[in-house]
Amino acid sequence: METNQRKQLSKIAGDIELVIEHSKILTTGYNLFTGKHITETDYLELSINLFRKDLFDVQFELEFDSDDFSVLDDFTMTLKNALDDKKEVYEYCMVSVEGVTRHETNRKGHLIDTLQWVISNLAHSFGIDPIELKEVV
């Protein structure tokens, strides 16, 4: 993977981090700017669609049979699946030394967890850090 592509992935990771940390104020700003009244969950869905597109743009520049292409394909498919899988309640299990703990979350929590997974795996798979962006406030 070339330096330019790594920079693109760092920027995407920074944008994802920004949305995770400031989704409420970003939703408010979006609503004021557009005159719409969408929920924070709707804003996360719009953002995920944009992140999928951005990741796909980087993926498109890679060799089809490369490991990097395959990893980015997993990310774009995970984001697509998160958008397609619409439920009221999501259940998951956490495994630790104390045992298995069952948890539940709503759609917003599920989308945020998915975005956090993408950031973590971008860092792990490509050794990139999110580009620091200016505060939203």
Domain that holds residue 104: 3-126
Instruction: Determine, yes or no, domain membership for 137.
Output: no
Q: Is the pLDDT of residue 43 over 60?
A: yes
Distance of alpha carbon 113 from alpha carbon 102, whole angstroms: 15
Q: Is the pLDDT of residue 104 over 80?
A: yes
pTM: 0.85
Instruction: Determine, yes or no, domain membership for 135.
Output: no
Q: Which residue has the higher pLDDT, 6 or 53?
A: 53
Please tell me the predicted confidence (pLDDT) of residue 128.
82
Q: Which long-range contacts (CB under 8 A, 24 or more apart) does 100-103 make?
A: none
54 with 10: CB under 8 angstroms? no
How many domains is the chain built from?
1
111 with 45: CB under 8 angstroms? yes
Per-residue pLDDT tens digits for 65-80: 899 999 999 999 999 9
Q: Which long-range contacts (CB under 8 A, 24 or more apart) does 67-73 make?
A: 68/1, 68/126, 71/121, 71/125, 71/126
Q: Which residue has the higher pLDDT, 131 or 133?
A: 131
Tell me the mean pLDDT in the region 23-46. Answer: 96
Q: Which residue has the higher pLDDT, 84 or 133?
A: 84
